[in-house]
Structure formats: C-alpha cells, structure tokens
Chains A and B, each alone.
Chain A
Amino acid sequence: MSTVQPLRQEIAAPDRVEAGKPRVSLVAEVNARSDAGLNRCYQCGSCGNGCPFVHALDYTPNQVLRLVQLGMRQEVLTCKTIWICVGCHTCSSQCPMNIDMAAIMDTLRLMSVKEGVAIGKPSIVDFHEEVLRSLEKYGRAHKLGIMLGYKRQTGRWLKDLDVGLKMLARRKLDLIPSRVRDVKEITDLFTCYWRESA
C-alpha cells in the first residue's frame, strides 16, 4: 500500500479533481464571494440591452455570467468586460431576477488580479493603481497627480493634451493636493496586494 503512495500523489496534480473532494466550481466560488445570486440568470439579456458601454465589451454581462456558469475560468478572468464595467448598476436595476451584476464584476476583477492572469484592459488597472497611490499619499484624490502618473504609466503623453490644458486654464486641476491631516490612519488601511507589486 505504501509503495503506491507516491504515484497517487503524482496523479493528484493541482488541476485534477480528487475523488470525494471535488474542487469548488467557479460558479460556487463567484457566488460565495459576491453573494449576487448568479444562478438566477435565465439569459434574458436585459443587462446587455441597458449597458451604456455594450459596444466596447467583448462579452455582454449575461455572457459573462454564462462563462462563469460554464466554469470557463480563463476566458472570463481575462476578458475586457470586467474592466470596462464602471459599476453604474444600470444592468442590476434592469435585471428581472435582482442579480447584483456589479458585485459579480467586482469579484471577477479581484480574482483576475489575485490569480495573476493576463489583464483584459491593463490601462484601466494602471489608472486605478494611480488613484490608489494618490489616496495612500493624501487620503484624497489629487486629479492632476493621477493624470500625470497615468500618462507616465501608459506613455501616451499627447493623448488628450488639449482637454488637460483646457482644464488647467479653467483652474479645474488643482496644483496642490487637498490632503487628510491624519494620513497615517489612511496608510494603515493599505495592506492589499498592489502595495508589494508596485
């Protein structure tokens, strides 16, 4: 019996399902983390019809749910849709089954970052990270700093330059950041992943 042991271990590679100990399915995982009730979806498509950004998505929201239900982990965690979603809640407001779509998108984004898969829209992660940097430093969003940091990350300095200059001229972009006095209380909250990777 003991001689068989190494072989069994070899078979039980990370992706294999061990008898009697099934791997948690993608749908169960997303459901548990988001508490969104995604099994209620019957693919009516209302969410996709209402989404203001549907033209820019690679999968409509209901298709994203379908990918989750089918356990297509790679496809769903690397798609663009989860990053383009701004969480406007238009889809959940129109969902006849009261599914919290934005919570599912939040969950999938966090999972994709955590699992280190290829990000569908890396420039959007760059932007969010720049906002986080500003928040960690000042406790408030300093928009000029965020935009400059974002430009540095993406290297697209000329894109949107006209709008930026117009905003500066109208004093809409403050040079000096507004900041929290007790900024240590803020920095103490920053314990998440990006801190180490930045």
Chain B
Amino acid sequence: MSDVQPLDFSYFPGCSLATTAAESNLSLMQAARILGFNLIELEDWNCCGSSSTQTMCQNLSLGMAARNLSLAPAGRPLVAMCPRCLHYLRSAQQCLKADPETRRSLEAKWGRPISMDLEIIHFMEVLVRYGLDRLQANARRSLKGLRFVPYYGCSLFRPPRLVKEKYFQGEMENILTALGAEAVPHAMTYTCCGSFLSATDPEIVTPLVQEIIGRAAAAKADCLVTACAMCQLNLEMRNTGRFKIPILHFSEILALALGADDYEEWFVRHLVDPRPLIRKLGKGA
C-alpha cells in the first residue's frame, strides 16, 4: 500500500450511514483507508432529499440535493455509498443541466457555483475503476466458502432518463468472488426491500422480507450482502421467520476481507449476529 498513491474523493455519507448504519460507515472508512482511497467527508452536507421531499415538494427535493452539489469542491469526484443518495444527487445534477435558470438562482442564493461537470459515482464504481489491483494486493482474509446472495434491491433500477448513466450492476459478485466468496444464484437479488413502508406499513413489508430471506435460505446461502444500508436494516428488522440469516452491508464484508479487525464494533449493532459466520470463515481459512 505504501507505494500506491492515495486518491482523493469527496464523500457523501447520507443520513443512514451517518446514524442508523454507522457500522456500514465505519467499515467503509476502514476499507477505503486500506485501499488508499482518501474519502473526504463533504463539508456541512445535508440530507439528499430522499423520497419524502420527492413526494411532498419537487422544488424542495431539488434544492436539498443541489445544496450538496454546491458544497462539493471541483477537481475530485463525489462518492456516495447509499444508492438512493446517488440517485437523488445525479437526478438533481441532470435537472440543473436542463434548467440553467434555476441553477443560477440557487448559485446566487448560496454564493457558490454548482459545477455541472462534477462526477457523482458510487463507491463500487470507484473500487472497480481504481482499486482492482489494490484489492488483490491488500486481501488478508479469504472469503472462501462463504455463500452469499448479492442483494441489490431496487438500487439498480432507475427512471428512463438516467438509463444511460453508469451503475454498478454485477460488481458485488465480481468483487466478492475475486475475494473467494461464492455468489448464490436463484435468490431474490433485485426485489425492493420496502423502503419507508417498513416504518409505515410493516404488514406489507414483513411477508416480502420473509420471501426474500426464505429464498436465500432455500438456496443455502450463509448471508445476504446488500448494496444499501436501508435494505440491510429492513431485511433484519422485518425478518420474523425462522431463518435468521445475517445481513451484511457490502462495506462490512469488504473490510473483513481486507483484514479489518474492529468488526466486533460493527457487529454488535446488528439485529442478527453475524459473528458465528465470521468464526466459521476463520476456521475455514
């Protein structure tokens, strides 16, 4: 790692990773440090707007996301780990590109330029673009024998106007398979986890989560690995069935493979304890 140039990125944590899913953030920071990615937290960032502003007021939704864009320094890409934040930030940039008048008025309001060339990318894209050789060089704990369901939820689905943007389809399998794990096919990889309905209408989400977990259990998976911290929480929180399969956020399994050893700190925050699974991994290696 010492001979590898560290790379600078602006980093947008978002509300989930900053609070409820602090374990995803801690493990992401560990993984980034080991790989030589310098994730610089966006100064005074705010919520991306999320589905609630999108539902209640479109101007507010655009304004919230745009403020974050106005805070991003030029010259380095803005990295998000939360797929929803990524979506709202990209949507706002596209919207402001098409509407220079609104962009100018927001710039005047805040006294800061909003760059239309700012590159907004997901951490997995960063990993694949800059980090494949670093990944191989820094792998410390083999994931051999770990059968995982790659769970993208709805994170790869997007409206037709964003279809041409590059996303991270298949990258979870590519990265974790390269680290020795085995992706389990025929599970529910692309089914939405229920998002905010998990808070408002658990009776709609619980059967859906049972189906997702049940299919993973039937495919003899050891765990599900999610791309999104909210999916991770919903799949744990709404699993009332008999299969208590650990749900890991992608950054946790990545940091584990890279040899991070503070995982106790993250795993005590899980509702389904993944530690037995990690002990099994340790024995296998």
Binding site for B on A (CB under 8 A): 52-53, 55-56, 84, 86-90, 92-93, 98-100, 102-103, 106, 109-110, 113, 121, 123-124, 127-129, 131-132, 135, 139-143, 146-147, 150, 159-160, 163, 166-167, 170-174, 178, 180-182, 185-186, 188-194
How many residue pairs, one in A and one in B, have C-beta atoms under 8 Å apart?
A: 159
A141 to B54, alpha carbons, bound, how many Å?
Answer: 14
Residues of B within 8 A of A86 (CB): 51, 192, 194-197
Question: Per-residue CB proximity of B25-47 to A under 8 Å, as 1/0?
Answer: 00000000000000000001111
The closest CB in chain B to the CB of A99 belongs to: B160
B226 → chain A closest CB, angstroms: 14
Residues of A within 8 A of B233 (CB): 172
Q: Could you say which of B59-67, B170-178, B213-221 contacts chain A? A: B59-67
The closest CB in chain B to the CB of A109 belongs to: B55
A-B contact pairs, 7 of them (CB 8 A): A86-B197, A100-B160, A128-B55, A166-B271, A167-B237, A170-B269, A194-B57
Contact of A87 with B54 in the complex, beta carbons under 8 Å: yes
Residues of B within 8 A of A121 (CB): 200
The closest CB in chain B to the CB of A92 belongs to: B159
Contact of A170 with B60 in the complex, beta carbons under 8 Å: no
Residues of B within 8 A of A106 (CB): 54-55, 58
Question: Per-residue CB proximity of B118-154 to A under 8 Å, as 1/0?
Answer: 0000000000000000000000000000000000011
Contact of A90 among B21, B110, B154, B200 (CB under 8 A): B154
The closest CB in chain B to the CB of A86 belongs to: B195
Q: In the complex, which range does the number of interface residues on chain B fall in?
A: 35 or more
Residues of B within 8 A of A110 (CB): 55-58
A122 → chain B closest CB, angstroms: 10
A130 → chain B closest CB, angstroms: 8
Residues of B within 8 A of A170 (CB): 268-271
Contact of A127 with B200 in the complex, beta carbons under 8 Å: yes
Residues of A within 8 A of B163 (CB): 98
Residues of A within 8 A of B275 (CB): none
Contact of B204 with A56 in the complex, beta carbons under 8 Å: yes
Contact of A84 with B204 in the complex, beta carbons under 8 Å: yes
B191 in the interface (beta carbon within 8 A): yes
B261 → chain A closest CB, angstroms: 20
The closest CB in chain A to the CB of B67 belongs to: A185
The closest CB in chain B to the CB of A171 belongs to: B269
A110 to B58, alpha carbons, bound, how many Å?
Answer: 9
